[in-house]
Amino acid sequence: MPIVDWDRYFLSVMPFSTHNYLKGNPEIVITEVNYLRHLYRETFRYTSAWSMQIGKRYEDIYQDFVRDLIGKKSKSPRWKDCSSATTNRMAYAAGSLYVRNFFNKEAKKTTMDMIDDLQEAFSAMLVQNDWMDQGTKKVAQEKASAMLRLIGYPDFILDDEELDNWFRDLNVEDTDTYSQMVEKSIRWGINFAYNRLLEPVKRDEFSTNAAVVNAFYSSIKNAIMFPAGILQAPFFDAEFPKSLNYGGIGAVIGHEITHGFDDQGSQFDKDGNLKNWWDGATREKFEERTQCIIDQYAAQIVPGTSGLHLNGKLTQGENIADNGGVKQAYKAYKRYLEKNGAEATIPGLEKYTNDQMFFIGYAQTWCNKMTPEATVRLILTDPHAPGMFRVNVVLQNQPEFSHAFSCPPDAKMNPPKRCVVWQDFFHFIYH
């Protein structure tokens, strides 16, 4: 956009403390060029995000839009909107409240132990891998070993003085209106981000709300992150049988580790640099296997959508991670049993073996119910497949599953052809 005087623009919006940085003509990486090209269209998204702040009339219009978009017929209660706004803009403060009141600190250590098990399982899978050359395999091992772990929460959020210092420049008065509070918090966040340009990158920074029920992998940090919010049922509980914990949070851990080696993460090295570390022939074999995943998911028809198919290309990274994550978690669970002995069956569920409970534990984490509108929107825009496919297609690709449930050769869950990117010795026995 040559009509914009960018130097003048940034000097006007950035804090004075950062002006010398800008005048030094720094090199800027623009990750969203298309955003600038479609700026007019994006203006609508910006104004819709402010709907709750600019009055009931606009909020009602926005709610009509949401109803048509995702089929949500009732508006969220006001307290929930305000709570979400606060936690989004003051994530560390909200995370501190959650951790102090609800998080079992022992879960942090148990999760670290499970990550050890999952990383050992992934390393073993690399050793047994038959399509990677030794040089690429060695670099992959180094990347897996160098993966940073960010678990639970950043320690400073439990220190009142440090937490207050973090928000020291955010000054909100009792007399402020809601929109003024929002505007101040946005301005504070922008100035904070600009001032960070003067500081070195902190690879070990815990950059999300500890109360979030999600998990993350960062390619540029080569780091996995598991906030305290996901270290609870149904994914994890210290009192759960290991079969359920490995099938739950274990598969999530494996999923995030595998992201370091999916279609996108595989383009970055162990230090988070964009670098091709693959042998050419090995890369071709990798892409053959990922194409199998793409085609397999693209063939899936979503119920209740008039024949709409999944977007195999859009979802390939998450699908690779789902498939690899379950395989790693199962392998880690079997290694745990080798070291510690067999588990007792679960009271009331004695008809299921512990291997079967592992897969049931994995499947139940994806139980959900979506409106038809939300389902269509997810398929068209989201890199994640709907939950039913994250269970059924993933487990069709696991020979360990069909073995555990004694599926006959012609069963739907025991197909003659499986798509496998990351495999282990079990795959060769039961494929």
Q: What residue has token string 């040559």?
A: 2
3 state DSSP class of 413: coil
Q: What residue has token string 């994914």?
A: 235
The continuous run of DSSP H or E covering 3 comes out as: none
In this prediction, residue 427 carries a pLDDT of: 45
Distances from the Cα of 274 to the Cα of 257, 266, 309, angstroms: 18, 9, 32
In this prediction, residue 105 carries a pLDDT of: 84
CB atoms within 10 A of CB 24: 7
Q: How far apart are the first and last CA of the chain?
A: 55
DSSP letters of 184-246? Answer: HHHHHHHHHHHHHTTS---TT---S-TT-S--EEETTTTEEEEEGGGSSTTT--TTS-HHHHI
Tokens of 84: 């979400």
Residues annotated as catalytic (active site), given as ranges? 256, 322
3 state DSSP class of 170: coil
Global confidence as pTM: 0.86
The C-alpha angle with vertex 414 and arms to 411 and 419, in degrees rounded to 5, equals 140
CB atoms within 10 A of CB 351: 7
The structural domains of the chain, ordered by start, are 105-154+205-430 (3.40.390.10)
Mean pLDDT per segment of 10 residues, for the chain of length 431 residues?
A: 72 78 73 67 53 63 69 77 88 96 91 95 92 96 97 96 96 90 90 87 91 96 97 92 97 98 96 96 97 98 92 97 97 95 92 97 93 90 96 97 95 94 57 39
DSSP letters of 64-79? Answer: HHHHHHH---SPPPHH
**How far apart are the C-alpha atoms of 335 and 161, rounded to whole Å?**
44
Closest CA to 209 of 231, 191, 228, 194: 228
8 Å CB contact between 133 and 282: yes
Beta bridge partners of 225: 150, 216
